[in-house]
Amino acid sequence: MADARRAIAVFLASCGALSLLAIEVPLGLDRFVPTPAHNPLRPAAVARGKELFFDKRLSRDGSIACATCHKPELAFSDENAVAIGIAGRQGNRRTPRLANRAWGKSFFWDGRAKTLEEQVIGPIGNSLEMDLDPTEAARRVGLSLPELQSALASYVRTIFSGDSKYDRYLAGDAGALSGEEKRGLELFRGKAGCATCHLGPLLTDEEYHVTGAGAAEDAGRFQVTQQEDDRGAFKTPSLRDVARTPPYMHDGSLANLDDVLRFYQEGGKARNNLDPEMRKLNLSEAELQSLKAFLLALNGRLSDGLR
């Protein structure tokens, strides 16, 4: 554990070599975009990373690319409940949205990757997804494995979502949210308690919680930490663009936002280690609608790559 902590500390200490790329960051996000010292944002790497993101040679049979599941038009996610790999192979977790991951602290639903460089080759090597040895994938596109990682991670760092109605409201435009959306925001922070986990510019605490969603067989964060408290815990997803990306939860088991609101209204699903923040909300139908209206106001302006 101490070694892991030291490794993280060393990584963070090396973060932020001077960017060689002028980035336009939308309203609501930090101007400072963390990058590791060994992989500062360089225009060439970002451009190469974007090409690779759409390159189907990175899958064993050449049938899918990163963008097959992380569709730009669907906030870099897709419409499926769980990831669909080559030959229709089915994973057990939902394809996560990729916007604003430059500020992420860990990656995948269970947080098993500590850096974007580590994360980007995960789906390539996953037998249920692209099913190709990452070194072989790099060779196919004429790169070394570190070069492949650097390029893909650089591109993913430039995928942003901001400038939503909520961002404009936070920035001082009191009229950016309608009356109903403002009531929803009050509930979001108050009675419904959503802001306990969905907070800050990313609208996530980047932590792991047991809400009871999904099948009990998926041990979630436990697979990484082996801590019993983490059994069934999954990382809080960002709520930016949430209305654009049904279905919901880590396994896509809830079809739409109404289902999600009902799930939390009932206090989640019973588990031995259910997060203590989960409780029945006793929201009225009108309150649920206001909350939903606020969630719709989180749709932002998506951008990626060089501008």
Partner 1 sequence: MTKRQGKEFAYFSAISRDQTTVAYAWFNADGFYELRVTPTKAGKYEVLYRNPEAGFVQPCAFSADGSRVLTLFFRKDNTSQIAWVEIASGKVEVLRSLEWVYPKKMDLSPDGQWIAYDSFAPNSRTERAIYLLAADGSAGKQLTTSGNYLFPVWSSSGKSLYVWGGAGNEYGLWRFDLDAGNKTASKVWLRAGTGRELPLGMSRDNQLHWVERESVSEVFWMDLEKPEKAHRATRRFAGLNRAPAWSEDGKRLAYLSRRGPENFGQQAHTVVVLDIETGEEIEVEARMAHVEELQWGRNAAATSQLSALGSDGKGRGGWFVLDLVSGKTRVLDARHGEAYQKFAGVLKADGSLLRLDGFAGMSALALNDNENQVAVSGPEQGLVLWDLATGDKQKIATEDFAELAWGRDLWGAKGDTLQKLWPEAGEPRRVPNRAKGFAVSRDGKRLAFTVASKQENLWRMRVEP
| Binding site residues, partner 1, CB under 8 A | 5, 8-10, 12-13, 15-19, 29-34, 169-172, 189-190, 193, 195-196, 199-201, 205, 276-277
CB of 262 to partner 1, least distance (A): 22
If the CB atoms of residues 16 and 247 are measured against partner 1, the closer one turns out to be 16
- Spatial separation of the C-alpha atoms in residues 33 and 111, rounded to whole Å: 20
If the CB atoms of residues 77 and 161 are measured against partner 1, the closer one turns out to be 161
- What backbone phi and psi angles, to 5 degrees, belong to 158? -100, 10
CB of 284 to partner 1, least distance (A): 18
- Spatial separation of the C-alpha atoms in residues 256 and 296, rounded to whole Å: 12
CB of 269 to partner 1, least distance (A): 19
CB of 255 to partner 1, least distance (A): 28
* Helix axes of 43-53 and 145-157: crossing angle, nearest 10 degrees: 90
If the CB atoms of residues 60 and 240 are measured against partner 1, the closer one turns out to be 240
Closest CA to 45 of 120, 161, 156: 156
Q: What is the DSSP string of 204-269?
A: S---EE----S-TT--BTHHHH--GGGTTBEEPPP-TTGGGS-SBSTT--B-SHHHHHHHHHTTS-
| 36 beta partners | 15
If the CB atoms of residues 132 and 187 are measured against partner 1, the closer one turns out to be 187
- What backbone phi and psi angles, to 5 degrees, belong to 209? -140, 150
Tokens representing residue 292 in the block:
């939903």
CB of 232 to partner 1, least distance (A): 17
- Spatial separation of the C-alpha atoms in residues 51 and 294, rounded to whole Å: 35
CB of 35 to partner 1, least distance (A): 9
- Spatial separation of the C-alpha atoms in residues 256 and 238, rounded to whole Å: 16
If the CB atoms of residues 18 and 73 are measured against partner 1, the closer one turns out to be 18
If the CB atoms of residues 179 and 276 are measured against partner 1, the closer one turns out to be 276
